[in-house]
A and B are shown apart, each in its own frame.
Chain A
């Protein structure tokens, strides 16, 4: 069964707008990671946030983690066409640092 569940399943926005996607999980974690997958570059790591961190930034990306609500959000600011991809969250709740993945959010950036 999936540990992480992304919401929404699909998101379509205009270029330049911000995109927010959420991830919820069920059990306690040490780390949560976000990845992006598109046909051109495959699956790529975006950001890792540890359970003792609340927020992390990387370029146009901002990730928050709320361990009390067992949820995380990924914000992409000033979206670009190249951000069109599927975004996955993954947690280490599998034990022994095994990653468990959500089904992903499909993001489409319209020109």
Chain B
């Protein structure tokens, strides 16, 4: 079975721009979660999608949004980028829910905002 894939792997943007990150979960997994990780920090939960519906949302501003398609692929969008948005963005998929069973993580997208 193919693992979780994320594209692109690296991105460099400037302040004020917007960015879209993509995640393809493991086949059969319906839950996709997004996390932000900054150096020395744990994972900060952004949101979780299940069957195209946002089920959970973390404490991030409205500039961060996401969606899930019928094939479970998910995208997240960050608008009006700020320097503090520089981070590793991780996507994880699971069968039912991240807190109920194990999550499988993609390699992440490293976003640098200049």
Contacts and interface: CB of A to CB of B under 8 A. Distances in A.
A76 to B, nearest CB: 18
Contact of B56 (A31, A44, A94, A103): A94
Interface string B91-114: 010001111111111111000000
A48 B101 contact: yes
Contacts of A88: 42-43
B75 interface: no
Contacts of B55: 96
Interface residue range, chain A:
20 to 34
Given A94-B56, A96-B55, A98-B98, A103 B103 contact: no
Interface of A: 2, 4, 30-31, 33, 42-45, 48, 88, 90-92, 94-104
29 contacts: A2-B42, A4-B42, A30-B100, A33-B102, A33-B103, A42-B106, A42-B107, A43-B105, A45-B102, A45-B104, A88-B43, A90-B43, A90-B99, A92-B100, A94-B45, A95-B56, A96-B55, A96-B56, A96-B97, A97-B96, A97-B97, A97-B98, A97-B100, A98-B99, A99-B103, A101-B35, A101-B45, A102-B42, A103-B42
